[in-house]
Amino acid sequence: ESTLGAAAAQSGRYFGVAIAANRLSDSTYATIANREFNSVTAENEMKIDATQPQRGQFNFAAADRVYNWAVQNGKEVRGHTLAWHSQQPGWMQSLSGSALRQAMIDHINGVMAHYKGKIAQWDVVNEAFADGSSGARRDSNLQRTGNDWIEVAFRAARAADPSAKLCYNDYNVENWTWAKTQAMYNMVRDFKQRGVPIDCVGFQSHFNSGSPYNANFRTTLQNFAALGVDVAVTELDIQGASSTTYANVVNDCLAVSRCLGITVWGVRDSDSWRAGDTPLLFNNDGSKKPAYTAVLNAL
Ligand code: XIL
């Protein structure tokens, strides 16, 4: 196959990309994105601050620019993200307790209603666990509404759009030996045992010197899949873009039948949120990097 999306489709998977609405007018960017990828995540446009800037006033203008571009070009869409401690609008940052809990539910209902039946996977909850060795939840205004906030979010999401796969998404959870990975595993196991509606786990996979790729990522994916959830690589970028590491991630996903696909977090290095790490598959001029060829050959 000659593109990442077509190559991934040979095994029933997708190869996706994070899209920024304001870059779609860049023809080099749009040409590569349309040619190579068959799944799209909005890099920022479906987040809470973008979709509900004032309480009760939803704005889907930028989100719909990404969504419509994706669908008009035949791609599926990952929704990102409904409940998160970061990129909250000011009005939400200032809420707490039962008012914040209700605002979270209202937000899930408002955004999922707008896209009902149109989103393949929703990242319902993002980044709820703390880094380091504690295995604890991250302290946040949402966590302080009560430990059950995550399952409440998933139950609301299932009711709002029964057709979407509902994912929990996090970073630094790729290494099986890390406490954060174990904490996330215990939560998913508990949710499956108690019937909390969760369908998938997203592994952001922002690999760098502080949190490098480890070969036990495949074990992690297999162990989560064995709980009865799908898994996905949702925000892949690799500091330095090692061809070997990119190929390893592809091979890990391909080794797990419940791995739905891989999304890279941007098109060219210059589009990356960590541009200084040159972590992506395309050079700033749009040419393919060695890591691109390594990924294509591995798929
Ligand atoms: C990042 C975007 O890439 C940046 O443009 C933005 O300034 C901050 O957020 N984990 C996530 C993503 O789930 O939403 C983040 O995206 C990167 C880390």
- What is the value of ipTM here, to two decimals? 0.99
Tokens 């909005």 found at? 42
Q: What atom of ligand 1 comes closest to residue 18's alpha carbon?
A: 3
What letter represents residue 204's amino acid?
Answer: Q
Candidates 261, 263, 255; CA nearest to 237 is: 263
Alpha carbon distances (Å) from 242 to 187, 209, 239, 257: 32, 12, 8, 25
* Predicted confidence (pLDDT) at residue 184 exceeds the cutoff of 90: yes
Distance 47 CA to ligand 1 centre (A): 10
* Catalytic residue status for 76: no
Nearest CA to ligand 1 atom 7: 273
In the three-class reduction of DSSP (H, G, I as helix; E, B as strand; rest coil), residue 203 is classed as: strand
Using pLDDT thresholds of 50, 70 and 90, give the confidence band for residue 47: very high
Q: What atom of ligand 1 comes closest to residue 234's alpha carbon?
A: 13
| Whole-number Å distance between alpha carbons of 152 and 157 | 9
Tokens 């409940």 found at? 83
Using pLDDT thresholds of 50, 70 and 90, give the confidence band for residue 1: confident
Q: What atom of ligand 1 comes closest to residue 47's alpha carbon?
A: 14
Distance 291 CA to ligand 1 centre (A): 22
Q: Mean per-residue pLDDT for 7-14?
A: 98
| Whole-number Å distance between alpha carbons of 292 and 36 | 10
Distance 195 CA to ligand 1 centre (A): 30
- The residues near 254 (Cβ < 8 Å, ≥ 6 apart) are 11, 13, 298, 299
Q: What are the backbone dihedrals phi and psi of residue 136, each rounded to the nearest 5 degrees, phi first? A: -90, 165
Residues with CB under 6 A from ligand 1: 43-44, 126, 204, 235, 273
Q: Percentage of residues in the chain with pLDDT exceeding 70?
A: 100
The pLDDT value given to residue 78: 98
DSSP-based helix, strand, coil % in the chain, nearest 5 = 40, 20, 40
